[in-house]
Amino acid sequence: MRHRLKDVAERAGVSVKTVSNVVNGYVHVRPDTRARVEEAIAELNYRPNLSARNLRKGRTGVIALAVPELDIPYFAELARHVVTAAAELGWTVLIDQTGGGREQERVVASGITDHLIDGLIFSPLALAAEDLAGLDGTPMVLLGERVDHGPADHVVIDNVAAAREMTAHLIGLGRRRIAAIGSQRTPEGASARLRLAGYTAALADAGIDYDERLVAPAPAWHRADGAAAMRGLLASGVRPDAVFCFNDTLALGALRALHEAGLRVPEDVAVAGFDDIEDGRFSIPTLSTIAPDKERIARLAVELLANRLDADPTAPPQELSAPYHLTPRESTSAP
């Protein structure tokens, strides 16, 4: 049923290698030979066996993208861009879902690199630098937070600056009791730490005292966590007039909790998020956010990988920064 080069060769009356040459677009093939071969290929509906080709070439044409969870919209949107950018280079993307635990991420980082993929784009939550030490072979690009001076390329955005800018935006609306949702004390919370740092820096810039009671932790960054954190803040009796959520799903949860509490957004409480996911453009109210250039992030990651594959694989790791911009919407509009 499934044909091989040999079958095509017999049918066209040429050698196996000539068929291979036609398939690979080698120039020195007589037009009539090429035509005969192509005809045979079409008749047999021949398709190359990629495993064999990979074995021979040492390349698979497949890269992996590992993200914590696909149904977090940010990662899904990112995945789309990575798939698109990779397709332009003729690569297929194998998407892996780590679940975000450190152990699972370690498995992905070390395990999946089994010759099946040429490279890995990895958006880790929990992974530490030492987990990456001694990984042989497969080139890797890290997305998001720096795994401090790890041995791999990475693409980041300036979380501190972005968080600071968003907090300053809230202050600019005249808000003074600005809560933050999403802090994390675990080692996994690298993004949380940086965004918190931006938040406190902006408060300091404006001469506003940091109030610990206004900072709510969130174990994960799902809608439910945002809603729970917001309810917690309201129940504790602090009365924020603005909330900076460390990502958009948290913010959507917070919007929901505020709605349930009968508070108006932005009149009573302004709400800001981070990530610019599609939902935020249609939520009620629409959500102000930090919009990282996801397409750029994806493209840079793919290019870094391509570089490491084609050029010097031993070059020192690079860190590239992707742009973002603050996108104000209804949830922080002036009343």
Partner DNA sequence: AACGTTGCTTACAACGTTGTAGAAACCAGG
Partner DNA sequence: CCTGGTTTCTACAACGTTGTAAGCAACGTT
Q: How far apart are CA 163 and CA 184, in angstroms?
A: 15
Considering only 35, 42, 55, 204, the residue that binds a second copy (CB under 8 A) is 55
In the block, tokens 């698109």 appear at 84
For a second copy, the closer CB: 240 or 253: 253
Q: Is 34 in the site for a second copy (CB under 8 A)?
A: no
Q: How far apart are CA 223 and CA 128, in angstroms?
A: 26
**Of DNA, a second copy, none, which one sits near residue 168, judging by CB under 5 to 8 A according to partner kind?**
none
Q: How far apart are CA 143 and CA 319, in angstroms?
A: 10
In the block, tokens 């629409």 appear at 286
Stretch that binds a second copy, among 48-56, 192-200, 201-209, 295-303 (CB under 8 A): 48-56
Considering only 106, 223, 231, 308, the residue that binds a second copy (CB under 8 A) is 223
Q: How far apart are CA 332 and CA 335, in angstroms?
A: 8
Q: Is 5 in the site for DNA (CB under 7 A)?
A: yes
Q: How far apart are CA 98 and CA 76, in angstroms?
A: 14
Tell me how far, at minimum, the Cβ of 139 lies from DNA, in Å: 18
Q: Residue 88: is it exposed, middle or buried by C-beta count within 10 angstroms (0-12/13-18/19+)?
A: exposed
**Of a second copy, DNA, none, which one sits near residue 314, judging by CB under 5 to 8 A according to partner kind?**
none
Stretch that binds DNA, among 25-33, 97-105, 150-158, 242-250 (CB under 7 A): 25-33
Tell me how far, at minimum, the Cβ of 79 lies from a second copy, in Å: 5
159-198: contacts with DNA (CB under 7 A): none
Considering only 15, 17, 42, 49, the residue that binds a second copy (CB under 8 A) is 49
Stretch that binds DNA, among 13-21, 137-145, 152-160, 201-209 (CB under 7 A): 13-21
Handedness of CA 22, 26, 31, 32 (dihedral sign): negative
Q: How far apart are CA 14 and CA 38, in angstroms?
A: 12
Q: What is the dihedral of CA 306, 67, 290, 317, to 10 degrees?
A: -40
Stretch that binds a second copy, among 154-162, 190-198, 236-244, 251-259 (CB under 8 A): 251-259
Q: Is 18 in the site for DNA (CB under 7 A)?
A: yes
Instruction: Please give the structure tokens belonging to residue 189.
Output: 């919370």
Q: Is 248 in the site for a second copy (CB under 8 A)?
A: no
Q: Is 256 in the site for DNA (CB under 7 A)?
A: no
DSSP 213: G
Question: Among residues 5, 34, 72, 38, which one has the least CA distance to residue 220?
Answer: 72
Tell me how far, at minimum, the Cβ of 19 lies from a second copy, in Å: 16
Stretch that binds a second copy, among 31-39, 63-71, 200-208, 320-328 (CB under 8 A): 63-71
DSSP calls for 264-329: -TTTT-EEE-SS--GGGGTSSS--BEEEE-HHHHHHHHHHHHHHHHHS-TTSPP-EEE--EEEE--
Q: How far apart are CA 230 and CA 215, in angstroms?
A: 10
**Of DNA, a second copy, none, which one sits near residue 28, judging by CB under 5 to 8 A according to partner kind?**
DNA
Q: How far apart are CA 222 and CA 229, in angstroms?
A: 11
Contacts to a second copy by CB under 8 A? 1-2, 45, 47-52, 54-55, 60, 62, 69-71, 73, 76-77, 79-80, 83-84, 92-97, 111-116, 134, 136-137, 222-224, 227, 252-253, 255-256, 259, 278-279, 281-284
Residues that bind DNA (CB under 7 A): 2, 4-6, 14-18, 20-21, 23-24, 26-30, 33-34, 46, 48-49, 52-53, 55-58
